[in-house]
């Protein structure tokens, strides 16, 4: 701060004390802060570092946890790119001419997600997967004015479920559960039974919360043709480098999280909620959207578009309230995808598949274990039936610095799935670490 | 004064255009779901991609480039130490479901942040889950919804003044409430209108204070009384907290629920649109309704509490945007009591200084004294048959990001200016000089602006008409 400039400014305003600028705040509501004095940068660095060191050293933990957040390798260039301060210190690109960099990068992100999902219309992000799902259900109701039921399978992530319920609490949309079958995938008979004229849409998660993939996707395509309900598909973008894009088999809206594409686990956030939909519904979409256009000289340019859907213009009739989103993470994700390239992505996806299947086989050979517990095709995550209580097993493995998988038989998860855990294996897990897991599972029982 | 800003100007084709068709080989997935054709993404050398994004960044303007007086957005300088700390592996690598005993550092920081924010807002407890301000708003309304429901009351209206930010009315209708918008009087809430609107249907009343005109709503306590008497709850939109830290709190104004915009007041970078963080604070009256989990402390150990009696459940996956929370925590620790108080003082000083400098050139409706921001009217531009938008575009040529324009709607041709505390007098003087200079310029110069940016004026109408939202949609 320049010495004395505050005095010059006060003088210019014709006042002696900055307090005069607060004279409109009535005395009876004046308060003081009760927080500590500030720290210098040097002290601050060591103070916060020492706090963070109270976490278990991440290098000492071997984790097989997934359930929505996955450990993947992130090339150094991703951090470097997303760390450019012209990107990260900018606001939402309201002034297109001076924000072409961010706009073009976000258009690349939208284009990548379109390629992966098979749906052309993509926004720059929702907060995360659960909120993207909630927005998708609300959008389904905007598209389909008739009907007030939305079908959600039981094999949905408990967090998606809880968030969705909250978003619908004031709306006339009823969530109805569809069972899963013996393979953990959607029970198609039950689904068909529940499909009536009141159903405005269905949610299909593939991979589902058990890691399983829906295999008869043409069933959903036919279903849509027969019943005309809106189909929302939840997925993992990494599997989409190997899997038929949902846009090809009937999805109207695809949601998910781009975290597996170059975003650190970061204790669950920030990530990137994916939202893609069929081109015919662009005017019903939530969120920021970047469009391609030209400048006054006919040069290609980008800008935020279809803004009349949005809160700052349409207010109470906006398609959503979202304003700040997860744009920088979308940019990071786009840079990750380009750095890997289509061949690189495919290679990583195959490695995930191979390692997870290998690990499941090894676990399945162990006495008393069953993997996958739900006998279904999977990508990089699968269920394991354990011969002892999952929490006990988890605790014992933890002592050996191994996190073998997430117990699913919690009261707020799937309490009926006794002794079942969810195990994820990404390209990060070495053969040696898988052996460590196998050995500790053996020792535990 | 001549506009001497020069932004880089590259003709960079999209990378995605460079992709070629390719088949997936040896797909391990079953045939029914196996992709035959690989997604069209190019395979390029790393340095090419780094250069591409580097060049894109040169065609972008951030706070690190220059003055960014976007009203309502609190674009203050983002300290670099927060970035450094938030990139440590201890912060970035933990899995959200790893055992609490492995995450004690994170949980301690989250717990402390809950306490710090509670104090800053005059609230009793805080949830760190919401990912942004608007997300905090809808969370607050969910809390109000459950609160009334538990009392067996069906209240279907939410009241707010016409100065409210767009996210407020959008949050209200997203949750199925009816909006009751009351007209302002002299730029502030009209107590009589509020009295008339409040009643047995009132679920909540929402405002930000200072409001979006930058005026402090001195009658906040009376509003609280009116709404409470009608049985409703009061929601404080914390987007403008930068104007009152250390001076007053929403709690002191008798508000029940509020959100904080950590990406505004607490200087976490805005990331070109996000991520942000919008923690929600509540007074004891509705504490038990917060989303779960919240962090609690027990004998020096930190853990998640999932057992809040009336909790609405979750509003987001996991625990909020942790890395953003960490940055805000670090900022608060660095500033401390005095730093935050003087941030507010300097923000308000800067705002009033710039207001006084600019009111010579543009109209200032609704009185003098402002808090951290002020709203001018660009209707003088009409003399030249121009608009506020033209003025905004011309400012870019001078190397300034434009203010927020056309909001609040109450002001004709609005320019909403928030300088923040981190700008020097010299910067403010330069900006004022630029405005003064533009006001003297020939119409053509302004109309054809910007000239010094990566591209000329962007055709937004064509963007809507063509609706090309991805490379796939380009014909
Ligand atoms: C007054 C006000 N309220 C609410 C919001 C919404 O906050 P966010 O963008 O974090 O969702 C903003 C952001 O611009 C704002 O200025």
pLDDT tens digits along B53-92: 999 999 999 999 999 999 999 999 999 999 999 999 999 9
Calculate the alpha carbon distances from B4 to A285, B395, B451 in Å.
Answer: 40, 11, 10
- Ligand 1 midpoint to CA B133 (Å): 5
Distance between CA atoms of residues A139 and A230, nearest Å: 9
Chain B residues closer than 8 Å to A165 by CB: 313
d(CA A420, CA A372): 10
Residue B268, preceding bond cis, omega within 30 degrees?
Answer: no
pTM here is: 0.98
Helices (H), A195-260: 217-227
Q: What are phi and psi of B450, to 5 degrees?
A: -90, 155
Question: Does residue B453 carry a pLDDT above 90?
Answer: yes
The counts of H helices and E strands in chain B are 14, 14
Testing ligand 1's pocket by substitution, the residue of B215, B238, B239, B416 carrying the most ligand atoms inside 8 A of its CB is B239
CA-based R_g, chain B, Å: 24
- Output the tens digit of pLDDT for each of chain A's 445 residues: 667 899 999 999 999 999 999 999 999 999 999 999 999 999 999 999 999 999 999 899 999 999 999 999 999 999 999 999 999 999 999 999 999 999 999 999 999 999 999 999 999 999 999 999 999 999 999 999 889 999 999 999 999 999 999 999 999 999 999 999 999 999 999 999 999 999 999 999 999 999 999 999 999 988 888 888 999 999 999 999 999 999 999 999 999 999 999 999 999 999 999 999 999 999 999 999 999 999 999 999 999 998 888 888 889 889 999 999 999 999 999 999 999 999 999 999 999 999 999 999 999 999 999 999 999 999 999 999 999 999 999 999 999 999 999 999 988 899 999 999 999 999 999 999 999 999 999 998 8
Instruction: Report the nearest-CA residue for atom 9 of ligand 1.
Output: A324
- Give residue A260's pLDDT: 98
How distant is the Cα of A37 from the closest Cα of chain B, in angstroms?
4
CA–centroid distance, residue B239 to ligand 1 (Å): 6
What pLDDT is recorded for position A225?
83
Q: Return the pLDDT at A1.
A: 60
Tens digits of per-residue pLDDT, B285-328? Answer: 999 999 999 999 999 999 999 999 999 999 999 999 999 999 99
Cα separation of B475 and B473, whole Å? Answer: 6
Q: How far apart are CA A128 and CA A258, in angstroms?
A: 8
| 8-state DSSP, B70 | B
Domain coordinates in residue numbering, chain B: 80-335
Asked if B249's CB is within 8 angstroms of A342's CB, the reply is no
pLDDT 10s digits, B336-354: 999 999 999 999 999 999 9
To the nearest whole angstrom, how far is the Cα of B440 from the nearest Cα of chain A?
Answer: 23
Residues of B in contact with A98 (CB under 8 A): 7, 60-61, 396, 401, 450, 453-454
The pLDDT assigned to B160 comes to 98
What integer pLDDT is reported at residue B408 of this predicted model?
A: 94
Strand partners, A274: A256
Residue A92 Cα to ligand 1 midpoint, Å, equals: 12
Task: Provide the shortest C-alpha distance from residue A79 to chain B (in Å).
Answer: 9
**B444 at the A interface (CB within 8 A)?**
no
Sign of CA dihedral A266, A269, A270, A272: positive
Which fold is adopted by the domain B80-335?
3.40.640
CA distance B273 to B287: 31
- CA A219 → CA A1, A60, A185, A228, A289, distances in Å? 67, 45, 13, 13, 32
Rounded mean pLDDT, B248-270: 98
Any idea how long chain B is? 475
Instruction: Please give the interface size between A and B, counted as residue pairs whose CB atoms are below 8 Å apart.
Output: 641
* Nearest protein Cα to ligand 1, atom 16: B72
CATH number of A76-336: 3.40.640.10
* Phi, psi of B104, deg, nearest 5: -60, -35
A258 touches chain B (CB under 8 A): no
Q: Is the pLDDT of residue B475 over 80?
A: no
Instruction: Tell me if A25 and B248 make a contact (CB, 8 A cut-off).
Output: yes
Residue count of chain A, please give it: 445
Chain A residues inside the 8 Å CB shell of B270: 88-92, 324
- Cα–Cα distance measured from residue A78 to residue A81, given in angstroms and rounded to the nearest whole number: 5
Residue linked to tokens 């809880």: A162
Q: What tokens were used for B200?
A: 């047995």
Question: Closest ligand 1 atom, CA of B240?
Answer: 1
Fold of A58-73+341-444: 3.90.1150
Location of structure tokens 């710039």: B354
Check CB contact under 8 Å for B44 and A94.
Answer: no
pLDDT of residue A223: 87
> A310 CB near a chain B CB, below 8 Å?
yes
Strand pairing category for B294-298 and B280-282: unpaired
Tokens of B394: 């011309």
Q: Which residues of chain B make contact with A162, given a CB cutoff of 8 A?
A: 313-314
For residue B278, the ligand 1 atom closest to its alpha carbon is 10
Interchain contact A35–B (C-beta under 8 A) = yes
Peptide bond into B450 cis (omega under 30): yes
Q: What is the mean pLDDT of residues B438-467?
A: 97
Q: Which of B98, B221, B425 sits opposite A8 (nearest CB)?
A: B425
The answer for residues whose C-beta is within 8 angstroms of residue A442's C-beta and 6 or more apart is A366
In chain A, the residue whose alpha carbon lies closest to the alpha carbon of B26 is A350
Answer yes or no: is the C-beta of B237 below 6 A from any ligand 1 atom.
yes
Give the CB-side neighbour count of residue A429, counting CA atoms within 13 A.
32
Q: How far does the centroid of ligand 1 lie from the alpha carbon of residue A93, in Å?
A: 15
């Amino acid at each position: 701060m320049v010495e004395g400039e505050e005095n010059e400014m006060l003088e210019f305003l014709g006042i002696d004390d900055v307090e005069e600028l607060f004279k409109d705040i009535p005395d009876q509501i004046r308060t003081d802060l009760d927080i500590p004095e500030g720290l210098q940068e040097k002290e601050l660095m060591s103070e916060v570092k020492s706090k963070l060191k109270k976490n278990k050293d991440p290098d000492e933990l071997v984790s097989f946890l997934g359930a929505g957040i996955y450990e993947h390798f992130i090339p150094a260039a991703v951090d470097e790119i997303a760390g450019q301060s012209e990107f990260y210190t900018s606001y939402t690109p309201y002034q297109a001419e001076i924000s072409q960099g961010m706009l073009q990068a976000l258009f690349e992100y939208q284009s990548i997600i379109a390629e992966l999902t098979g749906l052309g219309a993509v926004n720059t992000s929702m907060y995360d997967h659960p909120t993207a799902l909630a927005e998708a259900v609300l959008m389904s109701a905007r598209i389909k004015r008739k009907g007030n039921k939305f079908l959600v399978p039981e094999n949905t992530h408990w967090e998606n479920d809880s968030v969705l319920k909250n978003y619908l609490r004031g709306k006339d949309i009823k969530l109805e559960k569809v069972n899963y079958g013996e393979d953990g995938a959607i029970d198609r008979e039950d689904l068909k039974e529940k499909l009536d004229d009141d159903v405005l849409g269905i949610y299909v998660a593939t991979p589902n919360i058990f890691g399983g993939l829906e295999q008869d996707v043409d069933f959903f395509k036919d279903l849509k043709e027969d019943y005309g309900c809106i189909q929302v598909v939840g997925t993992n973008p990494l599997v989409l480098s190997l899997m038929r894009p949902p846009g090809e088999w009937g999805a109207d809206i695809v949601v998910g999280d781009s975290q597996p594409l170059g975003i650190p686990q970061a204790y669950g956030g920030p990530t990137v909620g994916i939202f893609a939909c069929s081109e015919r519904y662009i005017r019903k979409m939530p969120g920021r959207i970047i469009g391609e256009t030209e400048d006054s000289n006919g040069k290609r340019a980008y800008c935020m578009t279809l803004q009349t859907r949005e809160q700052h213009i349409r207010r109470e009739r906006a398609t959503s309230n979202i304003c700040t989103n997860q744009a920088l993470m979308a940019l990071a994700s786009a840079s990750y995808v380009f750095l890997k390239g289509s061949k690189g992505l495919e290679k990583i996806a195959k490695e995930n598949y191979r390692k997870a299947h290998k690990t499941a086989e090894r676990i399945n050979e162990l006495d008393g274990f069953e993997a996958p517990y739900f006998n279904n095709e999977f990508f990089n995550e699968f269920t394991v039936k354990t011969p002892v209580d999952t929490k006990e097993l988890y605790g014992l493995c933890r002592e050996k610095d191994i996190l073998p998988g997430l117990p699913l038989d919690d009261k707020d998860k799937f309490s009926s799935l006794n002794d079942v855990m969810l195990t994820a294996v990404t390209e990060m897990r070495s053969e040696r670490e898988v052996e460590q897991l196998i050995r500790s599972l053996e020792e535990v029982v | 004064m001549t506009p001497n800003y020069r932004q880089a100007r590259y003709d960079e084709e999209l990378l995605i255009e460079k992709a070629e068709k390719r088949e997936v080989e040896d797909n391990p997935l079953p045939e029914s779901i196996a992709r035959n054709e690989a997604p069209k993404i190019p395979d390029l050398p790393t340095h090419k991609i780094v250069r591409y994004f580097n060049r894109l960044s040169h065609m972008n303007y951030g706070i690190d480039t220059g003055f960014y007086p976007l009203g309502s957005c609190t674009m203050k300088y983002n300290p670099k130490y927060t970035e450094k700390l938030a990139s440590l592996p201890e912060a970035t690598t933990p899995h959200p479901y790893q055992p609490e005993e492995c995450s004690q550092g994170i949980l301690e920081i989250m717990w402390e942040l809950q306490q710090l924010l509670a104090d800053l807002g005059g609230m009793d407890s805080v949830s760190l889950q919401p990912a942004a301000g608007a997300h905090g708003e809808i969370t607050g309304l969910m809390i109000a919804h459950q609160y009334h429901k538990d009392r067996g009351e069906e209240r279907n209206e939410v009241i707010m003044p016409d100065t409210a930010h767009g996210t407020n009315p959008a949050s209200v209708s997203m949750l199925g409430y009816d909006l009751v918008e009351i007209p302002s009087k002299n730029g502030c809430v009209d107590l009589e209108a509020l009295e008339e609107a409040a009643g047995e249907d009132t679920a909540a009343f929402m405002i930000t204070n200072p409001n979006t005109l930058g005026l402090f709503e001195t009658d906040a306590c009376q509003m609280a009384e009116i709404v409470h008497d009608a049985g409703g709850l009061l929601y404080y939109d914390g987007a403008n907290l930068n104007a009152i830290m250390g001076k007053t709190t929403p709690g002191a104004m008798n508000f029940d629920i509020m959100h904080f915009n950590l990406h505004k007041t607490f200087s976490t970078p805005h990331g070109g649109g996000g991520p942000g963080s919008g923690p929600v604070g509540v007074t004891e009256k509705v504490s038990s309704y917060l989303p779960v989990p919240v962090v609690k402390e027990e004998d020096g150990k930190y853990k998640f509490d999932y057992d809040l009696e009336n909790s609405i459940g979750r509003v987001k996956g996991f625990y909020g945007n942790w890395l953003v929370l960490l940055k805000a925590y670090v900022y608060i620790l660095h500033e401390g009591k005095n730093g935050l108080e003087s941030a507010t003082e300097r923000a308000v000083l800067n705002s009033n200084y710039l207001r006084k400098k600019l009111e010579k050139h543009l109209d200032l409706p609704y009185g003098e004294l402002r808090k951290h921001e002020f709203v001018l009217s660009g209707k003088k531009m009409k003399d030249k048959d121009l608009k506020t938008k033209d003025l905004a575009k011309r400012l870019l040529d001078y190397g300034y990001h434009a203010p927020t324009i056309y909001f609040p709607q109450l002001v004709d041709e609005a320019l909403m200016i928030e300088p923040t505390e981190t700008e020097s007098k010299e910067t403010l003087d330069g900006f004022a000089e630029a405005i003064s200079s533009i006001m003297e310029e020939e119409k053509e110069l302004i109309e054809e602006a910007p000239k010094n940016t990566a591209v000329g004026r962007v055709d937004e109408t064509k963007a809507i008409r063509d609706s090309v939202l991805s490379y796939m949609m380009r014909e």
